């Protein structure tokens, strides 16, 4: 198997409270994994650890060679601060910031960078928003702009933390379709969601977390399991 992420014996506590207990799993290249679980079950904490935003954990996290050194990881957070929305930047400028981590200390954008920005805006079908201030965007337009920022550097893995909670059903469906296209092009997706019913047609694996892993396997197995029924209160 061609694992892109391997997590072994991961344990993490905030103070005296253990948040993640003995977590072991592997993600294969091209997987589309939904992380589900009740509020406070450690989903965001797990994503933050995988992103390197929390480093005081025990255990081992291994990415496929080159993924971390070449910054081939994209991240779409749960939401952005309202004050960030007031920042007087345009869509084009915000998307370009997604290239900063791959540049040296002289962080000037080249023509090639702007070409990358144009390409991703086109791909996500928001090129007409290019010069709009982010404060003037609708929720769905803002979410696509943030997705463009996460994808402009051409990552191999994309992490998303509950990115559709504020979107209406139609816009949410469009967003899922775009993610599905991206996944079919080979990007591995790890998606934290309470909305498993919407993404079930896209994901190939489900990780059900409640501080420890209760279930990790294919969606089909998950669907027919006791864990699924319990999770959705059907059991």
Ligand X SMILES: Nc1ncnc2c1ncn2[C@@H]1O[C@H](COP(=O)(O)OP(=O)(O)OP(=O)(O)O)[C@@H](O)[C@H]1O
Footprint of ligand X (CB under 6 A): 14, 19, 37, 39-45
Largest CA distance in the chain: 58
> Residue with structure tokens 């805006």?
121
Residue 160 CA to residue 3 CA, distance in Å, equals 19
Nearer of residues 44 and 90 to ligand X, judged by Cβ: 44
Write the DSSP symbol of residue 132: S
Closest distance of CB 165 from ligand X, Å:
10
Closest distance of CB 11 from ligand X, Å:
14
Nearer of residues 120 and 196 to ligand X, judged by Cβ: 196
Cβ-proximal residues to 127 (8 Å cutoff; 6+ apart), any chain: 118, 121
Residue 174 CA to residue 103 CA, distance in Å, equals 32
Closest distance of CB 209 from ligand X, Å:
7
Nearer of residues 44 and 154 to ligand X, judged by Cβ: 44
Nearer of residues 14 and 235 to ligand X, judged by Cβ: 14
Nearer of residues 96 and 146 to ligand X, judged by Cβ: 146
Closest distance of CB 107 from ligand X, Å:
30
> Residue with structure tokens 């409640």?
210
Burial (Cβ within 10 Å: 0-12, 13-18, ≥19) of residue 217: middle
Closest distance of CB 40 from ligand X, Å:
4
């Amino acid at each position: 198997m061609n694992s892109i992420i391997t997590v072994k014996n991961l344990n993490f506590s905030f103070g005296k409270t253990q948040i993640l207990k003995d977590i072991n799993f592997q993600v294969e290249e091209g997987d589309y994994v939904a992380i589900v679980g009740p509020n406070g079950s450690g989903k965001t904490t797990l994503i933050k650890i995988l992103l390197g935003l929390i480093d005081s954990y025990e255990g081992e996290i291994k990415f496929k060679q080159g993924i971390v050194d070449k910054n081939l990881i994209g991240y779409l957070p749960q939401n952005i601060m309202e004050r960030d929305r007031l920042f007087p930047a345009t869509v084009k400028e915000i998307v370009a910031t997604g290239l900063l981590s791959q540049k040296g200390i002289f962080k000037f954008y080249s023509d090639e960078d702007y070409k990358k920005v144009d390409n991703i805006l086109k791909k996500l079908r928001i090129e007409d928003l290019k010069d709009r201030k982010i404060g003037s965007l609708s929720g769905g337009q803002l979410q696509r702009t943030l997705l463009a920022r996460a994808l402009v550097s051409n990552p191999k893995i994309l992490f998303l933390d509950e990115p559709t909670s504020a979107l209406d059903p139609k816009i949410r469906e469009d967003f899922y379709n775009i993610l599905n296209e991206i996944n079919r092009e080979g990007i591995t997706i790890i998606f934290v969601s309470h909305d498993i019913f919407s993404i079930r047609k896209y994901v190939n694996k489900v990780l059900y977390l409640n501080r420890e892993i209760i279930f990790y396997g294919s969606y089909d197995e998950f669907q027919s399991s006791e864990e699924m029924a319990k999770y959705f209160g059907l059991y």
